Amino acid sequence: MSRRKINTALISVFYKDGLEPIVRELHGQGVQILSTGGTQSFIEGLGIPVTAVEALTSYPSILDGRVKTLHPKVFGGILARREEDHLAQLEQYELPPIDLVIVDLYPFEETVASTDDEDAIIEKIDIGGIALIRAAAKNFHDVAIVPSRNEYALLLELLQKKNGATDLEDRRELARRAFLVSSHYDTAIFQYFHREQQEPVFKHSILDRQSLRYGENPHQQGVFFGRLDELFDAIGGKELSYNNLVDVDAAVGIMNEFKDGEPAVAILKHTNACGVAVRPTLLDAWKAALAGDPVSAFGGILIANSPIDLATAAEIDQIFYEVLIAPGFDEAALELLAKKKKRILLRIKHWNIAPQSFKSLLNGVIQQDADLATETEGDLTVVTEKAPSKAEVADLLFANKCVKHLKSNTIVLAKGQQLLGMGCGQTSRVDALEQAVAKAKRFGFDLQGAVMASDAFFPFPDCVEIADQAGITAVIQPGGSIRDQDSIDYCNEQGLSMVTTGVRHFRH
């Protein structure tokens, strides 16, 4: 018979929120309640009879509470199958069968987040609770397990709807949730002990699962594993989609390069920046970024390194965008932007970038250190007879930050801290450069005196030749080709300056 009446319940929880209606329902249905410590006191405070586990085991809570439920009279009653042989043993050893176990584990993750006191953290590693969860879940054919507060509502519904009984499918679902809780809990503990090791580990488990409307396309399912609330306050708009999340990740990555400088704005489309600018005011930065490619900006992802003021918000509000990210929004700006109900507004809490990145492929996952290298003026080696001017150095570093976040092969053209044209995702660097030049000219930019950045070295001098003909006067690239000198020689002949960084920024 798959339906089991609950006659005896063991309750041992850390947080008591939401427990009262369950306890009252169990009492009303004549269920004997066993409990320990603070949970026992809570139930007694409700005026409901409860049997202390110590009375069952004849052992008090010992070792500062580390041992309370670890006893055969507890686990025997949970693990016994409701069949003749096991029931006979329960009777022989005077072990009461336990039909329901309610556990809420010690808050290990919350403790790790709130203190560096290792003794306090270790004491929040639950032993008895996790053992109760696993035991009850293993015996789901006969026992119902409630492994966290998240299942309180489900249990109360079952108790009321089925008059204090559970069916096999109910208990199987609760067991599934129980092993999900236990695996997440163990992973969190492992991560704490693993924190100083070099080997990577995924931060989030299946518990941090958020279903998305769909994946890249409507016929693909999508799920996000993570905690967006750790990074953003969502203050307006619809839920983020799969594609939104991919683009937001790219946006945070590029703006991380500019987070501590003058006001900056980036506009992204399909993970690639189509507009980037740095200016003395955010409004000017927005206008310059938008000018980089006002066509591609339609439906894009917008990000700023400074709070959005009303003047900037009024300009942004004139175009259609998917997501706007900023460290803050002035009250008047937020009131204006929030009128567009489907536009997503995110307040970023911090600019921390994960130290590793992961990608699934074939029948596994590849992992690498994130590309956190950002070159400064001290990292530049002048390889031509002519050195770049101070203004050109600033533009070269700006362009190099941009090129790092575009799909390879890629070229960036910039002047005056503004992205003028970019070519990305091309099968040759010449194609990328020609695309960048064409885009810049399409939107009316004069490339005379602009600079060029490349994500990788030039195997031939063709790119510097094309750049020179377009008006480029300074180049930044990693260097490292056996034919570097060919490009350097051309620059010397034509009066261009070139610097190398020694750092390649491929992005596949």
CATH class of 229-348: alpha beta
Q: Is 505 exposed, middle or buried, given 0-12, 13-18 or 19+ CB atoms closer than 10 A?
A: buried
The question of whether 27 is a catalytic residue gets the answer no
pLDDT at 58: 63
The catalytic position among 138, 238, 340, 386 is: 138
The catalytic position among 124, 141, 204, 270 is: 270
CATH 3.40.140.20, the chain: domain bounds: 229-348, 380-500
pTM reported for the whole predicted model: 0.69
pLDDT at 284: 98
Q: Where are the beta strands (DSSP E) in 305-387?
A: 321-326, 344-348, 356-361, 364-369, 381-382
Measure Cα distances from 342 to 30, 111, 237, 299, 322 in Å.
Answer: 51, 37, 4, 12, 8
The question of whether 71 is a catalytic residue gets the answer no
384 and 488 Cβ atoms separated by less than 8 Å: yes
Which of these, 353, 302, 342, lies nearest to 323 by C-alpha position? 302
- Walk along the chain (508 residues) and give the pLDDT tens digit of each residue: 588 888 988 998 988 888 999 999 999 988 899 888 888 899 999 999 988 887 776 666 666 666 666 777 777 878 888 878 888 877 787 778 889 999 988 888 888 888 888 889 988 888 888 989 999 999 999 999 999 988 888 999 998 998 888 889 999 999 999 999 998 888 888 888 877 665 545 555 555 678 888 999 999 999 898 888 889 999 878 889 999 999 999 999 999 999 999 999 999 999 999 999 999 999 999 999 999 999 999 999 999 999 999 999 999 999 999 999 999 999 999 999 999 988 999 999 999 888 888 888 898 888 888 999 999 999 999 999 999 999 999 999 999 999 999 999 999 999 999 999 999 999 999 999 999 999 999 999 999 999 999 999 999 999 999 999 999 999 999 999 999 999 999 999 999 999 999 999 999 8
CATH 3.40.50.1380, the chain: domain bounds: 4-194
Q: pLDDT of 311-351, one tens digit each?
A: 999 999 999 999 999 999 999 999 999 999 889 999 999 99
Question: What number does CATH give the domain 4-194?
Answer: 3.40.50.1380
pLDDT at 52: 83
Q: pLDDT of 431-488, one tens digit each?
A: 999 999 999 999 999 999 999 999 999 999 999 999 999 999 999 999 999 999 999 9
Which CATH superfamily hosts domain 380-500?
Answer: AICAR transformylase, duplication domain (3.40.140.20)
Rounded to an integer, what distance in angstroms lies between the CA atom of residue 7 and that of residue 383? 83
pLDDT at 184: 86
